[in-house]
Amino acid sequence: MMNLQSGTILAPEFYKKPVLAVAPELLGKFLVRQTGQTAISAMITEVEAYDGPEDLACHASKGRTARTETMFGEGGHWYVYLVYGMHEMLNIVTGEAGYPAAVLIRGLEGINGPGRLTKRFGIGREFNGLPAAIDAGLYIEDRGMTIDPARIKTSPRIGVDYAGPIWSGKPYRFYLEDSV
DNA sequence: ACAAGGATACCT
DNA sequence: GGTATCCTTGTC
């Protein structure tokens, strides 16, 4: 019997596109965390794009380091890091290997805030570098939800004033209007 | 309005 | 080995 809630797991190819193309497409998709027999999931409602070595808000603008290594890898892998000493941030790497870019998952339906969603889903740095696939127990699904493009709003990214006026002002945050 | 909290990057 | 800074949140 087919589970009506189930959908199609996004293939690696989905992520191997420019980050600014991938980010808005993730809205309306479902983040799924599977542990043993049970799974929890929620619709993605808010994301931010971090685009390459030039983007001063992107960690990779500091160069290739132990932390940013994952972002330089190929799209479709998780990039998870700790911020402010207490919150795990969940990002999905995009594009081809060698170009550092990722989408930060900032909000899910019913869960606002990037630190809250990782806590609720039990996501930590152990996922860093793992592929967004069923084997990892953490992946993104398309459940056929169609999003009216008019519902997708943009704004500057949150908490990146340190990146200077040009990069902190880029409209790289995408969210569903009626879910913030 | 602001402290908590620990890793990271970049000095000396 | 020291220090400033950080893609936040909860409580003040």
Of all nucleotides in the shown strands, which has a C1' nearest the CA of A67? B8
Cα(A43)–Cα(A32) distance, rounded to whole angstroms? 9
The mean per-residue pLDDT over the stretch A14-29 comes to 98
pLDDT at residue A3 tops 70? no
Of all nucleotides in the shown strands, which has a C1' nearest the CA of A81? B7
Residue A95 lies in a domain: yes
Residue A63 lies in a domain: yes
What is the enclosing helix (H) or strand (E) of A165? Answer: helix A164-168
In Å, what is the separation between the CA of A177 and the C1' of C7? 21
In Å, what is the separation between the CA of A31 and the C1' of B10? 36
Identify the pLDDT of residue A2.
47
Of all nucleotides in the shown strands, which has a C1' nearest the CA of A62? B9
Cα(A168)–Cα(A115) distance, rounded to whole angstroms? 20
Q: Which residue is nearest to nucleotide B6 (CA to C1')?
A: A85
List, for residues A62-84, the tens digit of each pLDDT value: 999 999 999 999 999 999 999 99
Identify the pLDDT of residue A5.
59
Nearest one of A59, A52, A68 to A18, comparing CA atoms: A52
Q: Determine if strand B comes within 7 Å of the CB of A70.
A: no
Q: Determine if strand B comes within 7 Å of the CB of A87.
A: no
Task: Quote the domain boundaries for residue A90.
Answer: 8-176
Q: How many domains does chain A have?
A: 1
Q: Which residue is nearest to nucleotide B10 (CA to C1')?
A: A62
Residue A2 lies in a domain: no
Structure tokens given for A176: 């569903």
In Å, what is the separation between the CA of A141 and the C1' of B5? 33
Structure tokens given for A29: 């998709």
Residue A170 lies in a domain: yes
pLDDT at residue A101 tops 80? yes
CATH number at residue A108: 3.10.300.10
Query: CB count, 10 Å around CB of A173?
Result: 19
Residue A3 lies in a domain: no
What are the residues whose beta carbons fall under 8 Å from the beta carbon of A125, sequence distance 6 or more? A80, A81, A82, A88
The reported pTM is 0.94
Q: Which residue is nearest to nucleotide B9 (CA to C1')?
A: A62
Share of chain A above pLDDT 90, in %: 94
Nearest one of A176, A157, A179 to A51, comparing CA atoms: A157
pLDDT at residue A1 tops 60? no
Residue A66 lies in a domain: yes
